[in-house]
Structure 1
């Protein structure tokens, strides 16, 4: 399969097949316990990454985000907060800004929205994944990590419906298993892995793409 994706996706019988396009986007969603979990994944990314990496971490409204600075010493890739109308570039990590939904447009640029929170969260993982699925279809991978709400489950189902890959942190090993368990029930997954295994598989996938 093009892009080296096939070894790392295993489609379940009732869900979408493995992505068939070269990897263009890795979208990651996390909430409670997500600061530490994200650090594990970001440390695993090699300096050469052919995909853009976009992260939604639930943040309290009205607070500035210092996530790029927090992870700067842990990640080999450039990190920044996503800006409205900014084009996504490969080999960069983008974080959703606080109190805005982050969307990916068909021209592979960002847009920010002040629409109502989803599961009390803005940014919401569902918004990112649903728009990314439409823009990227089979050229994306979505990852759901630890969290304490059902945000991300609906978006992950859309990703799979349109041919993208879906990985979920094993709920039994997450700081909060509510989010990964909800995603698994609603959408299923190509991989359900402990966090360290997730990071290792992500590193291999990106390196092979």
Structure 2
């Protein structure tokens, strides 16, 4: 069993902001699997269950494993509430959780996959670490770049991508979804070799 968690903020105000790239990737994975993210109020999240095998996401095949795609109802700084509840419900360990999140230290168009590490000032990761009592989950780090000039990082991540970057972001959302699929089927080293940029 895997939990794939897209970090972001709920509601239309935040839907297209840099901080919500995790939501975008989980929504793309749900689209590929032909499943709908449905509200589970007790878990404070939208969840879609599917399976993944060597044949693909949402396609039954030999060695298929269950996957829960997750988009929390909480704001970013409380993301761990939903993740902790779902991890307990499904009985998954941190090593079976993939967090997809925005990363200031990577330029737009860059992805990095890794296991464990600190939160690097990211409130969603900080909340996950607190509620899981561990940082040993997998991360798909989606580059959003640094704010220009003296713009505060908090304002930057809550702003939308400029029109000039939207095509690149759409490609990166698809590539990040591909990276998640590879991670689940082939393991972290293979996914790192293919997608880390």
TM range (shorter): 0.3 to 0.5
TM-score (norm 2): 0.42
Relative to total residues, which structure has the larger helix share, 1 or 2?
2
